[in-house]
Chains A and B, each alone.
Chain A
């Protein structure tokens, strides 16, 4: 509902809005800045900005610790794996619900969403024991399965809202023009579905990357991703601020960048199409 206003008012609004935005963003910015300081500079009081000693050592040191790359790699494998597996199961489901809806499709979708209402902590014990017994505990396979199941309702819902917007008439038109089923799927449907699938994928990688309940409780060291690593990092308080900041920056940077690209789809995706 943007309206035309005088330049002076626009300037006033701009300054106000940017101040609020920078205030919200400040903790992230400060973490990134601290990651480039020496340890002494990082804890200096008053906080240093222009007088700080800048360095890249923290990154070298955090990366050089033999375990950090492993946590990082675990995060990549688990979040991407869980999302891809989820897509494989969800695409056919969302597809048929969008194009061949039955009279119970809406109920089914609501039921799927309701499985997310169950608090994770409530089912921690059986999950823990099942994982122990089956040898899935502290394995990447186990976490891929757990996070896939956790996000499956979101994936189905997101895909459903995207697929629903593909007009069914276009299929009939293609069929009239003599397209075979293979042509239909390959040349008509796929190109229209790809953007929706891509943003679903992006958003669910973000959700899986940032998950911090199952990743902490179902791992010890071998399969632990960054969320578990950072959660345990804060123990030596005040001693390794710059390194903590560098580790944090490396943990959030890939997701932050992906998030910036997908922020427009986020609203639609996470509200299940209820707000556009």
Chain B
């Protein structure tokens, strides 16, 4: 039914989305590239000009930079590992015949709908706080010293909080995949004497591959940009212990007000995201188009 004129109309209908997204992508990116080679400090506006690659070398020479890169990768990798392992386990459990599966799903999905600053603030104050937090009073009642979660283990604490937020998403997707599995196949395997472990390894896990791929892809997109949780809890500290690349850029831009350096950091972040995306697409692309 696609005539010449309907094709034309179709292009016109797609055009607004493509144009605004293109502008949204290209203008900030072009400006970021431009600024990254300039001397541009809001606190000393009289000094300006070309910086060459100075902004980039500042980043590469800063000890914080490599820490920020490794923190970013640690955060993404840690949260992915935790949410997928526990997501699979919880999905397997909920998929068993249980009473009240509907309400169960609602309880499990809830953390996903809690906005990041609220999630971070709940964990920071009500649970991890060294004087008034619940963990502290549990520790005291058992005769231990309270742990200073955000001071002594800032990255692990942030990974824990972010995992709590994303575990529901992983669980729900994996559960949906599990529920589309045919029970005949499993029963046949059971009758043939396959153990629970080998049924999981050879039947359930392959069936979930696609869902796991999707979880990894989508979570990575969101996790590379994690900001609100760190902003609310540790502010990147103590020192720079929990500074990730997005937070380091934020600090350069908003606190140090050095636009040139922050822009250089932005370009590095784009390159990092592209490298990660490239490897993801390469290793997982074949699972996706089916």
A112 to B20, CA, bound (A): 11
List B contacts of A127 (CB < 8 A).
Answer: 28
B137 touches A128 (CB 8 A): no
| In the assembled complex, A174 has its CB within 8 A of some CB on chain B | no
B277 touches A25 (CB 8 A): no
A241 touches B125 (CB 8 A): yes
| In the assembled complex, A248 has its CB within 8 A of some CB on chain B | yes
Find the A residue at minimum CB distance from B14: A93
A120 touches B246 (CB 8 A): yes
| A122-B173 contact given A28-B111, A212-B116, A274-B214, CB 8 Å threshold | no
Interface stretch, picked from B45-53, B57-65, B151-159, B263-271, is B263-271
Interface stretch, picked from A57-65, A95-103, A191-199, is A95-103
Find the B residue at minimum CB distance from A25: B107
B97 touches A5 (CB 8 A): yes
The number of inter-chain residue pairs (CB within 8 angstroms) is 315
- Size range of the interface on A? 35 or more
| In the assembled complex, A186 has its CB within 8 A of some CB on chain B | no
| A96-B169 contact given A24-B111, A124-B262, A238-B129, CB 8 Å threshold | no
A22 to B288, CA, bound (A): 33
B114 touches A237 (CB 8 A): no
**Could you tell me the dominant secondary structure of chain A's interface residues?**
helix
A234 touches B94 (CB 8 A): no
Question: Separation in Å of the B226 CB from the closest CB of chain A?
Answer: 9
A256 to B123, CA, bound (A): 18
Q: Which of B115, B221, B249 contacts A226 (CB 8 A)?
A: B115
Find the B residue at minimum CB distance from A214: B227
Binding site for A on B (CB under 8 A): 1-2, 6-7, 9-11, 13-14, 16-18, 20-21, 24-25, 27-29, 31-32, 35, 90, 93-100, 104-127, 129, 131-132, 134, 136-137, 140-141, 164, 167-169, 172-173, 176-183, 186-187, 210-211, 214, 218, 221, 224-225, 227-228, 231-233, 245-247, 249-250, 253-254, 259, 262-263, 265-267, 269-270, 272-274, 277, 288
